Structure 1
Amino acid sequence: MKPAIAVVLLCSLLAVSSAAEKFDFFYLVQQWPGSFCDTRQGCCFPDTGKPPADFGIHGMWPNYAKCGRGRQEELATGLLEEDAVAFLSGVGRRGKCWPEYCDDGNALSPWEIRDMVASLDRSWPTLSCKSGRSFEFWSYEWKKHGTCSNLEQHEYFARALALKARYNLTAILAGAGIVPSDTATYSLSSVREAIARGTGATANLECNRDADGNAQLFQVYQCVDREGKKLIDCPLSMPTKCSRDKVKLPVF
């Protein structure tokens, strides 16, 4: 293969590896505000005031079903051996598990989401102390993840909100006896089973630690089809960051 052609092919493959249309599913990530705030670093409420005691959306993130070295090898299939080696060397051994920042020029427009601001304030609040302005949080999530979603701005946020409303995690867990408490603990298996029963799909869980070092249920990763409309069983497992089976769901 001529060097010039090889370079063109390698550049094309590098572009394909991060192209938005190549992702396999979304993670709809929701976080429990009590667990976000009950840490050593604490939290800050947005300019709209304290959010409700409800799981809030962190983001809806396009994700690959395969990632890391395996995904890069898949992309290199079909190249001559020496070109494949060069390609894999160029992208490195730690391929990302998701596309990101697919269109830096596509900034979130307040006009595009004007009809859902109240819903976003309630269901997608920021608790970070870096900024109390929720629009900055939504803009960041759109720029990093939404621009890779193959959805328009309004569609992206509307579909995340619709999924959250359809499968109310707070109510689903409460129906299984898993309610916020400063003393009670719950098994991870009971949380997983409650979510699977209530939504019809498996999910991944993430824990963090409170100021005393106790494990808390922090985030739920629900997997969604590429259209952002339907929950699916998660094709990937992920580390829970939970050191033991028992976790807290702190009061917010």
Structure 2
Amino acid sequence: MKQHFIELSLLLLLALSSLTSGTETSPDYFFIIFQWPAATCDSKAGGCCLPKKGKPVLNDFIISEFQPFYAKDGVTPTNCTTKSKFEPSKIADLVPSLEKNWPSLSCPSRDSKKLWKEEWLEYGTCSESVLNQHDYFAAALKAQKQINLLKIFADAGIKPNGTYYPAEAINKAVKKAGLNEVVVQCRNDENGVNAVLDKVTACATTKGSKKPCPGMFWICDSTNGNAVKFLPPSTSL
């Protein structure tokens, strides 16, 4: 619960535009949260398990969450009241891509459909005014592909090889790619310093196109000058 609160607080740093009163009925854009699998899989405190079905990519950023944001109200609502239930048949054509790019890596091992159900009920139901169930997941996949975070980093010389990279280099890379501002979250390294690249939050339109995030750049609150360690792809599975 505490970690979830912290994550939501960080996301709001991306939306510091002036807010007006009134309740919105449709999200203005989405936060897409990318996760580097090795940060979890190779963590002493974490660890991961392959899902029961499908083969996830472990050498690229996967989708962690796709959250609708209501800018005027300044909120990312969750678990919205709706009669809509998660129906796997509605996303059958997306399953091969979802198994690769939005897998469950939690332990014990489970079918990724359970994760997708959780994500739909928590966040997807709060975006039904613009995206139905199929289009919600399709938009997330589209945003992931269009942003291509690993390529953005590679083009800037930021590679997953265990090297520490300065915050300035990451900030410059995402701005050059048109993402503007992002949130970078970390896990502890072997010395207990909060510096291992874990998650990156960017923005996407309601159609799944990349969108410059408003707000400010934020990177791991560490004690090593905000340098970030980019782990090699996980080999522990």
TM range (shorter): 0.7 to 0.9
C-alpha RMSD of the superposition: 2.2
Q: 1:142 aligned to 2:148?
A: no
- Flag the 1:167–1:50 CA change in 2: closer, same or farther, 3 A: closer
Q: 1:124: which partner in 2?
A: 102
The residue matched to 1:42 in structure 2 has which SS?
coil
Look up the equivalent residue of 1:170 and give its one-letter code: L
Task: Work out the CA distance in 1 between the residues paired with 2:85 and 2:190.
Answer: 37
The residue matched to 2:169 in structure 1 has which SS?
helix
- Flag the 1:66–1:236 CA change in 2: closer, same or farther, 3 A: farther
The residue matched to 1:127 in structure 2 has which SS?
coil
How far off is 1:239 after superposition? Answer: 5.4
Q: 1:210 aligned to 2:216?
A: no
Number of aligned residue pairs: 205
Task: Work out the CA distance in 2 between the residues paired with 1:62 and 1:46.
Answer: 26
Q: 1:58 aligned to 2:58?
A: no
How far off is 1:187 after superposition? Answer: 1.0
Q: Retained in 1: the 8 A contact 2:219–2:226?
A: no
Identity over aligned pairs, percent: 34
Task: Work out the CA distance in 1 between the residues paired with 2:72 and 2:42.
Answer: 34
Paired residue for 1:44, among 38, 41, 49? 49
CA distances 1:26-53 after superposition (whole Å, capped 9, x unpaired): 1011111111223212222212345331
Task: Work out the CA distance in 1 between the residues paired with 2:79 and 2:61.
Answer: 26
- Flag the 1:130–1:242 CA change in 2: closer, same or farther, 3 A: farther
More helix by share: 1
Task: Return the TM-score normalized by structure 1.
Answer: 0.73
Q: Retained in 1: the 8 A contact 2:187–2:198?
A: yes
Q: 1:31 aligned to 2:59?
A: no
Give the 5 Å matches for 1:163-242.
163-182=143-162, 184-214=163-193, 215-225=195-205, 227-237=206-216, 240-242=219-221
How far off is 1:112 after superposition? Answer: 0.5
Look up the equivalent residue of 2:152 and give its one-letter code: I
Task: Work out the CA distance in 2 between the residues paired with 1:127 and 1:44.
Answer: 5
**Structure 2 stretches lacking a partner, 5+ long:** 1-21
The residue matched to 1:61 in structure 2 has which SS?
strand
Q: Which has the larger radius of gyration?
A: 1
Q: Retained in 1: the 8 A contact 2:179–2:213?
A: no
Task: Return the TM-score normalized by structure 2.
Answer: 0.77
Greater Cα offset, 208-217 or 172-181: 208-217
- Flag the 1:52–1:145 CA change in 2: closer, same or farther, 3 A: same
Q: Retained in 2: the 8 A contact 1:185–1:247?
A: yes
- Flag the 1:169–1:132 CA change in 2: closer, same or farther, 3 A: same
Task: Work out the CA distance in 1 between the residues paired with 2:209 and 2:32.
Answer: 11
How far off is 1:23 after superposition? Answer: 3.5
